[in-house]
Amino acid sequence: MVELNRIRELVERGDVTELARLLVQAYPQGLVGERDALVTLFMKAGLPHAEAVRWASELEKEGHAHHLPGARPRWVFTGKPVSFRRLASLVKSEWGGYVGDADGATEEALEFFERRLGVDHNTALEIYRGLEAAGYVSVAFQEGPDHARDRVLFEFPEVFLKQV
């Protein structure tokens, strides 16, 4: 669990990046809950409601906090800014035809994130873990004309696609 005093300290310093890193460490599988869960966390840290809303919005605007709605809703945090709108678009348009150099389905997905989103391995792993925890990722065996292997399948619920 995150140290609530540390959250308040980082907010008082105005340090969005360090706050994002703290949330990544505290919630590697994401903060479970609906959109209000992040505001609630900030309020538990002692922020007034309006300030908690502002900070949740700021983290989201800066690309460090991403709400994943659906059957297992949660906030996913990334230490570096990421556009989940771009991620969804890339997965839809390019993932089906992507063949990476990595061994294994998960490693191939991480490689895709790194190459196509321009993120480092740790950020790719943060994205993958969050998508997996939210139920947006599964691994299935696929056979094609040139391959037979395990492959990551991304399934973004309609409610997510409407929000990005």
The single-letter DSSP state of residue 139 is E
- Cα distance between residue 133 and residue 93, in whole Å: 23
CB atoms within 10 A of CB 13: 10
Q: Which of 38, 110, 50 is nearest to 74 (CA)?
A: 38
Same domain, 50 and 91: no
Q: Which of 68, 94, 95, 93 is nearest to 151 (CA)?
A: 95
Cα atoms in the Cβ-side hemisphere of radius 13 Å centred on 72: 14
Same domain, 123 and 153: yes
- Cα distance between residue 60 and residue 163, in whole Å: 12
Same domain, 63 and 108: no
57-90 per-position pLDDT tens digit: 999 999 999 999 999 999 999 999 999 989 999 9
Question: pTM for this one?
Answer: 0.89
Same domain, 88 and 73: no
Q: How confident is the model at residue 164 (pLDDT cuts 50, 70, 90)?
A: low
Same domain, 67 and 117: no
Single-letter amino acid code for the residue at 97? G
Lowest mean pLDDT among 12-21, 36-45, 143-152: 143-152
- Cα distance between residue 85 and residue 76, in whole Å: 14
Query: Can you give the pLDDT at residue 149?
Result: 84
Domain boundary among 56, 77, 98: 77
Cα atoms in the Cβ-side hemisphere of radius 13 Å centred on 5: 0
Q: Which residue range(s) make up the domain with 38?
A: 4-77
129-153 per-position pLDDT tens digit: 999 999 999 999 988 777 788 999 9
For residues 32-51, average pLDDT: 97
For residues 123-131, average pLDDT: 96
43-52 per-position pLDDT tens digit: 999 999 999 9
Q: Is 70 exceeded by the pLDDT of residue 157?
A: yes
**Overall domain count for the chain:** 2
Cα distances (Å, whole numbers) of residue 63 to 59, 77, 84: 6, 9, 8
CATH assignment of the domain containing 106:
1.10.10
Domain boundary among 23, 53, 77: 77
